[in-house]
Amino acid sequence: MVIIPVRTETDVFKARRAGREMAREMGFHSRDYSSIEIAISELATNIIRHASEGTIRLETIEDGLEIIIQDKGSGIEDVDAVLRETKKSNKGLGVGLRGVQRLMDQFEIHSEKGVGLTITVRKWKQKPPGLIRPKLNPHVPRGGLLKYGVVSTPYYGLEFNGDAYVVMEFDNTALIALIDGLGHGEAAYLPAQKAAEYVRKNHKSDFNAILRGCHKELRGPRGVVMGLVALDLKKSKFVCAGIGNIMIRVIGRQPFRFISNAGILGHNICITPHVTEFPYSRGDTLILNTDGISKRFEPEQLDIAELAPQEIAEIAVREYGKDSDDATIVVAREL
Residue closer to Mn ion (CB basis): 92 or 223: 223
DSSP for 107-158 reads EEEEEETTTEEEEEEEEESSPPTTSS---S-----B-SSEEEEEEEE-STT-
Residues near Mn ion (CB under 5 A) are: 180, 290-292, 325
* Nearest distance, CB of residue 288 and Mn ion, angstroms: 13
Phi and psi at 54, nearest 5°, equal: 175, -165
Residues 6+ apart with CB under 8 A from 200: 166, 168
Residue closer to Mn ion (CB basis): 126 or 324: 324
SS3 53: coil
Q: Where are the beta strands (DSSP E) in the chain?
A: 2-6, 54-61, 64-71, 106-112, 116-124, 146-153, 163-170, 173-181, 224-232, 237-243, 247-251, 256-258, 276-279, 285-289, 327-334
* Nearest distance, CB of residue 163 and Mn ion, angstroms: 7
* Nearest distance, CB of residue 327 and Mn ion, angstroms: 8
Residue closer to Mn ion (CB basis): 111 or 289: 289
Residue closer to Mn ion (CB basis): 231 or 264: 264
Number of neighbours of residue 62 by Cβ within 10 angstroms: 8
Q: What one-character DSSP code corresponds to residue 306?
A: G
* Nearest distance, CB of residue 309 and Mn ion, angstroms: 21
* Nearest distance, CB of residue 155 and Mn ion, angstroms: 9
Residue closer to Mn ion (CB basis): 262 or 305: 262
Element (H, E) at 193: helix 186-201
How far apart, in whole angstroms, are the C-alpha atoms of residue 203 and residue 270? 21
Residue closer to Mn ion (CB basis): 142 or 295: 295
* Nearest distance, CB of residue 137 and Mn ion, angstroms: 15
